[in-house]
Amino acid sequence: MNHCWHSRIPFFGNPVINNLQQFKEMSELIITNRYSDELSDVQDKLYTRDLFHQN
């Protein structure tokens, strides 16, 4: 089983996280343009401009 949770190719010097669950666990703050139900378990870490969760 491959336990690599990030890409070997950085994006502007930053690692690219390919596993959403790992990303949520390691993040203190998640900023997103649009709300997704996949983020419902981290609402305390979430900042979005999608106030009504309609987009």
Give the domain ranges of the chain: 27-55
pTM for the whole thing?
0.70
Relative to beta strand 30-32, strand 46-48 is parallel
For 1-55, strand residue ranges (E) read 30-32, 46-48
Q: What is the pLDDT of residues 1-55, one digit of tens each?
A: 445 556 667 889 888 888 999 999 999 999 999 998 999 999 999 999 887 766 6
Longest dimension (CA), the chain: 39
Phi-psi region of 13 (alpha: psi -120 to 50; beta: other; left: phi over 0): left
